[in-house]
Amino acid sequence: MRKLATIRVIDELHPIEGADAIECAVVGGWKVVVKKGEYAVGDLAVYLEIDSWVPTELAPFLSKGKDPREFEGIKGERLRTVKLRGQLSQGLFLPFDVLRGAVVILAESADVSEFLGIVKWEKPMNAQLAGMAKGNFPSLIPKTDQERMQNLKKEIAGAVESGLQFEITEKLEGSSMTAYLIDGVFGVCSRNVDLKETEGNTFWQIAREYDIEDKMRIAGLNNFAIQGELIRPGIQGNIYKLSKPMFMVFDMYNIVTGSFLTPHDRRALTKVLDVPHAPVLMVDKDLGMGSIDEILSWAEGKSVMGDIVGPEREGIVFKEVNGGMSFKAISNKYLLGEK
């Protein structure tokens, strides 16, 4: 589970050119604009990551005098990436006293999302895509998720130190899809749900179109999962200019060994199965000096999915070539342009 609200120590504070009332606080790999003088370096505060859905009682000012929005029955607002006086700002700091009365372990990076009533904002899925549930997501398979690099400053420094190499793929903006064969039973899941095979369900349609069940059986891929992104024309103004839905693989998981295939083996097997793979930008890239800002700058660029001039890509995903750590770097340019 992603920690949306955590107890953090303010690492650094920097002035913002031309601004007297605000300054820039740094925590891990994140930069957040705060009121000047509200925090000092070393203070404990509560940090809320972008895409937190923040109940209006916690931060009424987020609604800017308008009525708050609503998500899953909670009145509040979504934390977005913004630029203030030219300074990128991601997330929100709340003073430590919002935790008064909390029964939590008051340790650095402790997760206080539940106490504060913060949930992750998600793009609403339409009914046809969501489909009907056959059951919960299979517990034997990891749900697809990638940690944001801003939360992995230490781990990234460690990876640079050890000279680790990474595959870089384009991060596609669609819906997570998992196809599995468990003890001979084939199934198709969205990010969180095992789906019933119904006529109009796009996840199942695409699995049938690519013939994934037969291909997995013929290849003997029992107790195995293929994970990828379902992208389609009907959403987000069809940024990839698709004429029909597509499934693009980004992970393969062996349930028997409890491990992901290495990027190399996954790419090779995807070719054998003749299923599209998410765009591969690099197969063995180091992390340079490992600076968060530098790697974030790599995330920006045009998608290689488009026809001639692609749209701004959402970001890139790093996977260690031996099947070790993985993480995502979301393009700030993309986030700032998001509607």
Binding site for ligand AMP (CB under 6 A): 144-146, 169-172, 176, 229, 250, 278, 317, 328
The nearer residue to ligand AMP, 31 or 267, going by C-beta atoms, is: 267
254, amino acid identity: N
Least Å from the CB of residue 227 to ligand AMP? 8
Least Å from the CB of residue 290 to ligand AMP? 20
The nearer residue to ligand AMP, 38 or 111, going by C-beta atoms, is: 111
Least Å from the CB of residue 101 to ligand AMP? 32
Give the CB-nearest residue to ligand AMP: 176
Distance CA 94, CA 57 (A): 12
Q: What angle do CA 284, 174, 112 make, to 5 degrees?
A: 85
Asked if 177 and 164 touch (Cβ cutoff 8 Å), the reply is no
Asked if 91 and 98 touch (Cβ cutoff 8 Å), the reply is no
Q: 250: alpha, beta or left, given left = phi > 0 and alpha = psi -120 to 50?
A: alpha
Query: Token digits for 249?
Result: 């693989």
Distance CA 206, CA 244 (A): 10
The nearer residue to ligand AMP, 267 or 328, going by C-beta atoms, is: 328
Dihedrals phi, psi of 115, to nearest 5 degrees: -55, -40
Distance CA 50, CA 80 (A): 6
The nearer residue to ligand AMP, 39 or 180, going by C-beta atoms, is: 180
Least Å from the CB of residue 174 to ligand AMP? 7
Least Å from the CB of residue 250 to ligand AMP? 4
The nearer residue to ligand AMP, 120 or 215, going by C-beta atoms, is: 120
Least Å from the CB of residue 137 to ligand AMP? 12
The nearer residue to ligand AMP, 36 or 277, going by C-beta atoms, is: 277
